[in-house]
Structure 1
């Protein structure tokens, strides 16, 4: 893909259009205007959310009902996101909470800790650990997700969501099975199934998208649910802190000092923290390099083994140094 060229533009403008160009080329949407509108709507929502997260406006996570009627989000729709205008006449049904008013200003975000057994926590960790939105969370935020999840029981035959509804939860299946159906042009088709370890609902929590499917329990089931406010607070707080920390760190790396700030933004978003215990081996002499490492903290010691099998220390690298793939 050819790089997107700009004339005079701010770093933020360049970064936004570069990102839009990349995702557009990847998705190839049919409705270009709607796709672009969705992109900028999401960016605006995220910006407003982060503004509200400033010290003068804190979030309070309030206890929500564990009713499961209409409370599931899908993660399988490949169509461009449609963001309908708010229906202020629809007062009688439960609706999603917008990013602008997720909690009263002046209140402090309080972490939820729902008691669970160690085996339950481990099952949740294994499920959310494979989800692309959670895999880059640091250990503290990952544990916050596990702690905040609420147990819900679903009877066989119950629709945990209905297509077109709004939802407030991200779900992890602890036991039981679910079938997923999409109705289009009057035809209803099964598109996928979920079982123990499966998860769904994360994209709608980010983008306030309507449900794109109906999901029905095909057996008595138990799920763990994470509410919208906790989800967004943890995820976006982690993303913001991670970006600021990495951008500050990358500015100190000699190799990257010549990059423009928006280019460092891109690298910061792609980085993933990996922790190694003292004396742990990161790579072995003779292995094919597949990863590029930047040392964020600590010291890496390099050894070289000669043809006689003798190992000798040849260097030590610290914060800001790099090694790995070529």
Structure 2
């Protein structure tokens, strides 16, 4: 009976759950239940979804099935414990083989993090080392420093990470990742452009362009879920590949915590609330954290501006000199979630005002190139807001 339950879950339930979780990660709906019901209804014509939607109480039935399985597992564990007690005099412990249904082929058995136990022991991690010249190591280190995902990695782990990454060259038109596939690695771009596509009811649409310094394929590793998008080379590209195990051991824990904190912050920034979830996720990868001490000048009026700022912590004061030789006047005080520095980027002009830290401040920044690429759709909002208080 346990084997039949296991096969039912793996063959009929897991395929639709993996697709459902992928959509949840992409759209991040506030109300989960209505979203899932609507998604299941819309996709009920597919074979996998039809199997899941048979009957009114499928989810309840699945819960009962899982409870039965857990009870059977507990019974087996008790039997094993009794057997081990009776064999205390035996010098060697008899190894218990996993049930036959454990060795299966097909889709990944779940969309949660890997579980370790008696039948899946956690192995000692030995990071791979791919030979590189010092010049390659330097180039790769400079790229990784600009990637949000690796911002919390210390120097020791960074050296291990660089050794574990493998160079990969792909030609134009190569589809490196297919939406829905299992993910076993991520990529960082050194040269070229990779385009990301999502399949929807209207067909495939491009949702992101990844260029030098960007990374892709990390969502499947962060959340242990199927690939959220397809990725294809727009031109010949030089990439650096990092495998799942190295990522899990070196990067994942710190990266998940860091990314979740930043995504939560960005969702509360009024300017960014009109962005799609995938666009905000892309923004996470591009932002860089910088700190300023109380009294420090962040932006100087009259200077050339190439950076856009979002204030995460602290208070900043905007001042402006209206007539040369006269004292600067305070124009505005900026708090958590405020942004500044956009005028110089929108109008390609020198800074129109100065900004200094009234308290210790923590900011996230975007370069001019990334600002234009990611916030281009928001330029009308930025221009309107600028007219209101500048």
What's the TM-score bracket when you normalise by the shorter of the two chains? 0.3 to 0.5
Judging by fraction of residues, say which structure has more helix: 2
TM-score of the pair, normalised by structure 1: 0.45
Structure number with greater CO (CA < 8 Å, separation at least 6) is 1
Structure whose CA Rg is larger: 2
TM-score of the pair, normalised by structure 2: 0.38
